[in-house]
Structure 1
C-alpha cells in the first residue's frame, strides 16, 4: 500500500460519516494534541509547493507545534509503518472497515528479527506492525518528514476502501459526543 499524501490514480469515491454507525463516534479520539488550526482540507487544492497545478488531497492537515503528540483515533491494529514516501514517517491503523493514516511524524522505521517498527526515541514512542493500539493511545509526534511545508499531522481516513473527509468525521464525532454528554447530565 502506498500511503503517500497525493496519489493521482487513486479513486475518489467517498462515504458520508452519517452512512456509518454514527452512534459509535463517542469512542473515538481527536488525533493531535496541541492542535492549532486546520491548514489544508480534504479535496482538490493548489500544489502546496508553490506550483500552479491542482491535486487531490486525501486527508486533513492539522497544524500543531513540532513534537506535539499524535493520538490514535480509533482502537485497532497497526498494519503498516513507513518512512519512504511523500507521507514521510507514517503509521497506518486498521479498525474493522476503517483505515486511518498518520503522516509527517517524527522518527523513522527500523527492523529487527521481530519485525518492522516506527521509533521516535526522543518522544518515547515505538510502534510495531501488528501491534494493537487503543483509541487515544499516543502513536507518534508531529514532525516535518516527507513532503511538507511546516509541522502538521496529515490525517487520512478510508472506510471499506473509500476515502472519507476527516472533517466530516470530526463534526459527526463532536455532535455525537455533545449529545451523549447532554444525555448523561439530564439535559434535553
Structure 2
C-alpha cells in the first residue's frame, strides 16, 4: 500500500482477527451450546473485545476493559459499523448499525449477543443447588411453610448427625424460630 494511504486504513492485527473468528464450520451458538450462561457470556465478551481490538488496531484484546464505554475506547460511527459487521459475520446475527450505541459497553453488547444466540435464555445447568442460594431460599421461607408441607420433621431428622433426631429445642420453641435459626440449629446439631 502506498505510504500516503497507510494513515487512512487501520491495520488488522492477526491476533485480534483470530480472537474475533469462530472455528470453521461451527457457529457461535453451536460452539457455546453446552456452556453455562457465565461461560457463554465470557466467551462472547472475548469475541467482542477481539473485534474491538481488530477495528481499533490494538495488538491484542487483553489490554481492553470490557466495562469501558465504546466512546471511551475511541469508537465513532464508522468504527461502530465495522465492529457490527465483524460481529454479524462471526455470530450470524443481524445487528443494527447502531448496536455499539444501543449497547454502550463490550460486556453489555456480549449479553445482547448471548440473548440473540439463545433467545429463550440459558440458566445454569440443573443439578445441585448452590449452598448460598439454598440458604437464601431457606432463610426467606417461614417455618410454618415447612410444617404445612410436612417436611419440618424430616428436616429435623436430617439435622441429626446419624439421621436420628437429636436433643435440641423443644417443639414449641421451633414455632418462634425463622428459617435462618432452623438452618443454624441444623448445622450446629450436625457439628458444622
Query: One fold, TM greater than 0.5?
Result: no
TM-score category, normalised to shorter length: under 0.3
TM-score (norm 1): 0.26
Say which structure is richer in strand. 1
Larger radius of gyration: 2
Q: Return the structure number with greater relative CO, CA threshold 8 A, min gap 6.
A: 1
Say which structure is richer in helix. 2
